[in-house]
Amino acid sequence: MIYVNGMYRSGSTVIYNIVRHIINSGLIEQHINKCHEDWNPLAVTAHDINIYSYRDVRTATASFIRKKEWTEYNFKHNAIKVKTAKEYMKFLVRTDYATKNAMRSTDVILKYEEDVLTLRLGIIKILSTLKVTATEVLIEQIYAAHNIKKVKEYVDTLTNKSDIRTKFHPNHISLEVTDWKQYLSKDSWDDIEILQWLEDNNYVL
């Protein structure tokens, strides 16, 4: 079993479909399961593979806010929503630490800003983890089918329902790189737990 286990809003659905592409091309024989915090490391066997993705928890939260179509002003000036954002980030932080601590040397961790947005490096890491030879032709073939712009074009055709095959749903993908400063005041992430996580993962404070 291949588990594609990602932080929310970290590109895990794109990664899931890249792995599906590799399986459907006959390059490996495996089943695949996409999950988030419900991933259970105790259920993972020695033959299973875990692919985990994460991103700056501030941009993950801002992406969630934008997806919900909450206005920037109403969010930044609403104390209840600011508190909610902080609790959401702390949830992401705790889940991220727990997941990474359970990962094995045979698994792979992908950073959204480096491995998903630009994608080619992520594809190479996925192929290496799955023990598939990363030829230039194969990398470009996968990139052409699953780069963010191509995926956005497909998601835009999903007008009112999700695609159970790809797990994409309407408004799933944006081509914009979310600037968390537009949506989040410093009060929402000025927390020792969040600050420590940002430092541990080399994000600028």
Which tokens in the block code for residue 113? 């800003």
Percent of the chain with pLDDT over 90: 55
- The values of phi and psi at residue 150, to 5°, are -65, -45
pLDDT digits (tens, 9 = 90+) for 192-205: 999 999 999 999 88
Nearest-angstrom CA–CA distance, 7 and 5: 7
Q: What is the mean pLDDT of residues 169-181?
A: 70
pLDDT in tens, 30-51: 999 999 877 888 788 888 999 9
The amino acid that residue 126 corresponds to is I
Q: How would you class 5 by CB atoms within 10 Å of its CB: exposed for 0-12, middle for 13-18, buried for 19 or more?
A: buried
Q: What is the pLDDT of residues 103-158, one digit of tens each?
A: 998 899 999 999 998 899 999 999 999 999 999 999 999 999 999 889 888 888 88
Total-model pTM: 0.90
- Predicted confidence at residue 71, as pLDDT, reads 58
Can you tell me the distance from the alpha carbon of 63 to that of 123, in angstroms, rounded to the nearest whole number? 23
d(C-alpha 80, C-alpha 69), whole Å: 17
Residue 89 contacts residue 188 (beta carbons within 8 Å): yes
